[in-house]
Amino acid sequence: MGSLESIGKILLVTGALIAAGGLAFILFSRLGLGKLPGDIVVRRENFVFYFPIVTTLLISIVLTVVLNIIGRLLRMK
- E-strand ranges in 4-44 read 40-43
The tens place of each residue's pLDDT in the chain, 77 residues long, gives 578 888 999 999 999 999 998 998 888 888 888 788 999 999 999 999 999 899 889 989 999 999 999 999 888 86
pLDDT of residue 32: 80
pLDDT of residue 76: 82
pLDDT of residue 1: 57
By C-alpha distance, which of 46, 45, 62 is closest to 54? 62
pTM above 0.85, yes or no: no
